[in-house]
Amino acid sequence: MGVAELSDTALVAQVAVFHNKRAFDQLVRKYQSPVRRFFLNQTLGDEQLSDDLAQETFIKAYLSITKFRGLSSFSTWLMRIAYNVFYDHIRGEKKEVRGERIDQQHNIPLTSHLSPLTSTLKMDIYQALALLKDEERSCITLQLIDGYPIDQISRITGIGENTVKSHLRRGKEKMANYLKSNGYDR
């Protein structure tokens, strides 16, 4: 059986026991798209920052792969690392600007690093996501873009299921109001 045919668990075992870098290469190739997409949505389209954070996520996953116990799927475990990497980054940013009063919802550049290929629709999504608090944005994108159910969002974020539901409800309300005020309901 080739490495390409192995399941996630088998690939993780190969990396953990034999330090098989080819197996880890397969895992990165398989999950780079959802991880980078997650960061793109959290950073509102900052491609450079997203790639840096995604790289940090995979390095952390590689270094702590022996801690993966298989209680959840590998993708959930990886997204939990990604979520922690993002919030470490946010905390680091907040420390840097401590003392200056900033508006949390607008401290991420909305369009400065967007590729020219970014569609108008994507711009609208980022504009709508910019209205949300960080945790609301994470819950919304994990559900609506990455397709995770509430219990998995709770595992990834470490937030209780009821709080996840509240974040989703509040986030959706804010976005619905924004979309309606921009003529999306016509």
Partner 1 sequence: MTDNDNILIERLFEEASRQQIADDGFTKRVMAALPDNSAAKVRRLSRLWTWFCILVGLALFFLLDGWAVLKATLLAIFNTVLTSLSVLLTTAPTADLRLDPAVLLVLLVFVLVVLPYQTARRLSTSL
Is there binding between residue 19 and partner 1 (CB under 8 A)? yes
Cα–Cα dist 144/42, whole Å: 13
Is there binding between residue 133 and partner 1 (CB under 8 A)? no
Cα–Cα dist 153/33, whole Å: 18
Structure tokens at 63: 């270094």
> Binding to partner 1 (CB under 8 A): which residues in 66-105?
none
Residue pair 152/80 in contact (Cβ under 8 Å)? The answer is: no
Is there binding between residue 184 and partner 1 (CB under 8 A)? yes
Of 113, 122, 133, 165, the one binding partner 1 by CB under 8 A: 122
Of 1, 63, 71, 117, the one binding partner 1 by CB under 8 A: 63
Residue 62 has, within 13 A of its CA and on its CB side, a CA count of: 16
Of 78, 81, 128, 132, the one binding partner 1 by CB under 8 A: 128
Element spanning 116, H or E: none
Could you give the angle at which helices 21-42 and 120-130 cross, rounded to 10 degrees? 70
- Which positions lie near partner 1, rule CB under 8 A? 19, 21, 24-25, 28-29, 32-33, 36-37, 40-41, 51, 54-55, 58-59, 62-63, 121-122, 124-125, 128, 144-147, 169, 172-173, 175-176, 179-180, 184-185
